[in-house]
Amino acid sequence: MVKINKDLFSLNNEYSFYNIANIVKDYKKNNKDKKVISLGVGDVSRPIVKSVIEEMHGAVDDLSNMDTFKGYGASNGYDFLKSIILEKEYDNKFGLDEIYISNGTKSDVTNILELFDIDSKILITDISYPIYKDGSSCLNRKVYYADTDDNFKPTIPKEKYDIIYICSPNNPTGLNYTHEELKSWVDYAKKNNSIILYDNVYTAFIETDTPKSIYEIEGSRSVAIEFRSFSKTASFTGVRCSYYIIPNEIYDGVNDLWKKRTINRFNGADYIAQKGAYATYKEKAQKDIKENIKYYKENAKLLINAFKKYNFEVTGGIDSPYLWVKINNDMNSFEFFKFYLEKLNIVIVPGIIFGKKADKYFRASALASREVIEEGIERMKNYYEKNI
């Protein structure tokens, strides 16, 4: 019998996005008369803005002509895209050799583990986005869990860990980390020679006076790798374009080493996606993208109000599209997920997916269309006004 990677058998099974999706699929198949809507899943609903679409059409045309045809780009991305990201997002405080264009943060945040010793002790928050644990398992890495405060943010451990995943604005809780919180993690990392993997894909949603990048924290360049994406900002969930920064200060020669790794493991992001990502920085595109973010934020407000009206405690939905909602009856989160699916035909994401401590919570998302948000609120109203 062929020897299978035994760590794959530790992947979350019953309580996973994969299983949730299958349960929803089965429910729909067996209840074709019911119109199931999702107030939970993290996909966007707004289309890509016009000026970006135009640039993507131009990129497709480039590929149709021998003189303008583009084959392999660099494994780490085109300079035209790297340059504009460095200028617009990082005020040119990093160089072209410190940024990598890729095809999605989900892959990037676990692929980066290849840079570090396989026996590195990895710290994740108990509770967190399940990819950190399960992606680490695929790569035969072992994770440990940090204790959490009342907001499900990790508290600084006494022990030494080599790699620390921080997701901010947080999936699932929707909260952004404060300057003080990040400073204490940067200090911890400097003291312990640790690396912070900073998953920052919702940065465009931040409106409170909290850091938009970990590099706002003094001393972070020697200890933090930051990951971002065009998915939620520019509606690129189907197009696939992400980026990350590895500061040269992390380790002498780190970017030479990582470029050698990347040229062996990846052939670059799609050219059309990179041209589209570039176009998101044009003035008109920025204006339209800000309108989309505003639209989602209005969705979030509608949802927060509705949940509060029916006696749920809610956090998040301010600096992120996610709402973190405390279950207001004696169900656990999986029971509540099934109850909402079967009684209201609404999909929410049960907290248990993010960790056992979250079993009295669920994640809702403001990324659906206004129509779906309003329909969901209407169903809640009908249900709760009949049943309270």
329 is an interface residue for its own copies by CB under 8 A = no
- The residue from 146, 272, 304, 353 that contacts its own copies (CB under 8 A) is 272
- The residue from 36, 115, 331, 372 that contacts its own copies (CB under 8 A) is 115
Phi, psi of 226 (to 5 degrees): -110, 135
Tokens of 140: 């035969």
Strands, DSSP E only, in 230-356? 242-245, 313-316, 322-326, 346-347, 349-350
- Which positions from 209 through 238 interact with its own copies, judged by CB under 8 A? 235, 237-238
**Coil, helix or strand for 301?**
helix
Site map (CB under 8 A) of its own copies, residues 13-52, x = contact: x--xxx------------------------xxxxxx-x--
Contact partners, residue 187, CB within 8 Å, separation at least 6: 219
Nearer to its own copies, 17 or 27 (CB): 17
Tokens of 49: 């803005």
Q: Which stretch binds its own copies (CB under 8 A): 5-13, 198-206, 305-313, 348-356?
A: 5-13
Cross-strand partners of 226: 198, 245
Nearer to its own copies, 139 or 331 (CB): 139
Measuring CA to CA, which residue among 17, 16, 35 is closest to residue 27? 35
- Yes or no: say if 321 and 98 are a contact pair by the CB < 8 Å rule: no
The number of residues that bind its own copies (CB under 8 A) is 81
Nearer to its own copies, 230 or 312 (CB): 230
Q: Which stretch binds its own copies (CB under 8 A): 259-267, 297-305, 323-331, 338-346?
A: 259-267
159 is an interface residue for its own copies by CB under 8 A = no
Q: Which stretch binds its own copies (CB under 8 A): 107-115, 142-150, 296-304, 322-330?
A: 107-115
Measuring CA to CA, which residue among 192, 187, 252, 248 is closest to residue 220? 187
Lookup result for tokens 């590895």: 246
DSSP 148: B
d(CA 290, CA 205): 9
- The residue from 271, 278, 336, 337 that contacts its own copies (CB under 8 A) is 271
Phi, psi of 207 (to 5 degrees): -125, -15
Site map (CB under 8 A) of its own copies, residues 59-78, x = contact: -xx-xxxx--xxxxx-----
138 is an interface residue for its own copies by CB under 8 A = yes
Q: Helices 271-279 & 50-62, crossing angle to 10 degrees?
A: 150
- Yes or no: say if 319 and 309 are a contact pair by the CB < 8 Å rule: no
287 is an interface residue for its own copies by CB under 8 A = no
Lookup result for tokens 């590099």: 215
239 is an interface residue for its own copies by CB under 8 A = yes
251 is an interface residue for its own copies by CB under 8 A = yes
Q: How many residues are listed for the chain in this entry?
A: 388
- Yes or no: say if 9 and 346 are a contact pair by the CB < 8 Å rule: no
DSSP 8: G
Q: Which stretch binds its own copies (CB under 8 A): 105-113, 146-154, 175-183, 358-366?
A: 105-113
Nearer to its own copies, 67 or 330 (CB): 67
151 is an interface residue for its own copies by CB under 8 A = no
Q: Which stretch binds its own copies (CB under 8 A): 7-15, 82-90, 151-159, 278-286?
A: 7-15
- The residue from 79, 270, 335, 374 that contacts its own copies (CB under 8 A) is 270
- Which positions from 162 through 191 interact with its own copies, judged by CB under 8 A? 162
